[in-house]
Amino acid sequence: MPFSHYTFRALPIEEQLKVLWAEGTFLAARWQEQDRVYLYHVGSFFTEVYCDLTKHKRLSIRTCTNSEWLEGYAVYVRLDDLPI
C-alpha cells in the first residue's frame, strides 16, 4: 500500500519502521558524529533512521520530500563499484 509523506509521519514510530522494512528501498548509510544514519526511499519521500550502534538503539526517524538529503550521502558513492 503506497504511503504519502504525511500519512507516514502520522504513524507511530514502530509502525513507521514496519513500513520501511516492507515498502522502503535502502539507499545508503552514513555517520553523523557517533550515530549511524540509514537512508530509505519510500514512494514519494525519503526517510532517515538515526541509530546509536553502541547502545543498539534507534534514536529517531526524519522524513523529507525532496532530494536535498542525498548530497550528504554522495561522498559514500563510488562510481567504479557500479556494474556498467
Q: Where residue 30 sits, what CATH number does that domain have?
A: 3.30.67
Residue numbers of the domain that contains 30: 5-78
Task: Going residue by residue through the chain, which has 84 residues, state the pLDDT in tens, using 9 for 90 and above.
Answer: 567 888 989 999 889 989 988 999 888 888 877 888 888 888 888 899 998 877 677 778 888 887 777 777 777 666 665 555
Specify the pLDDT at position 81.
59
Q: Is residue 84 part of a domain?
A: no
Q: Are the C-beta atoms of residues 19 and 3 closer than 8 Å to each other?
A: yes
Which residue is listed with cell 507516514? 8
Q: How many domains does the chain contain in total?
A: 1
Q: Which of 30, 33, 25, 26 is nearest to 73 (CA)?
A: 30
Specify the pLDDT at position 52.
81
Specify the pLDDT at position 59.
74
Q: Is residue 62 part of a domain?
A: yes
Helix (H) or strand (E) holding 18: helix 13-23
| Contact partners, residue 67, CB within 8 Å, separation at least 6 | 46
Q: Is residue 17 part of a domain?
A: yes
